[in-house]
Amino acid sequence: MQRRQREGLRAASVVAFAVLAAMVLLASSQVLTSLADGGGFAGIRGSAINRQGEIVKEAIERSGSHSYHIINYNSPGATGAPAIAAYLVDRLAARGDLDHLTPNPKSATMDWDVVAEAMQFAV
């Protein structure tokens, strides 16, 4: 790459960074203004886009040899937390990721077998 091309790319990247920084500042000021006005905080959730340019509505699950990733999960807030937690425990147990754990002898406030049965997971 010639010097002139490198300088052009450097200048373009500086401009792109400045535009991105301005967009972040504008979005931040709008969120802060909304909070100050008592409008609450709704949050902005990025969505995955497939190769056809369509928004992916479902969560995407990817597993690695030592990891399990949930991508594109749009939580409904605290109401979704117990359900997704139960689902993830079931998925990890099905993969064998929890086989090394031993049951806790203390009585728990939630019985996993009851939850799993209600959600139609294998017990």
Residue with tokens 């594109």: 72
Euclidean distance between CA atoms 102 and 35, whole angstroms: 46
- Residues with Cβ within 8 Å of 62's Cβ and at least 6 positions away in sequence, in order, are 68, 69, 71
Give pLDDT, residue 102.
81
HSE at residue 92, side-chain half, CA atoms within 13 A, is 16
Q: Among positive and negative, which fits the CA dihedral 98, 99, 105, 108?
A: positive
Any idea what DSSP says for residue 120? T
pTM above 0.75, yes or no: no
The reported pLDDT for the residue numbered 29 is: 63
Q: Identify the burial level of 112 via C-beta atoms within 10 angstroms of its C-beta, where 0-12 means exposed, 13-18 middle and 19 or more buried.
A: middle
Q: How far apart are CA 120 and CA 47, in angstroms?
A: 29
Predicted local distance difference test score (pLDDT) of residue 9 = 67
Question: Which pLDDT score is estimated for 30?
Answer: 61
Q: H-helix or E-strand containing 13?
A: helix 3-36
pLDDT score at 32: 60
For the chain, 123 residues long, the average pLDDT of each consecutive 10-residue run is 69 72 68 57 69 86 85 74 82 87 72 76 63
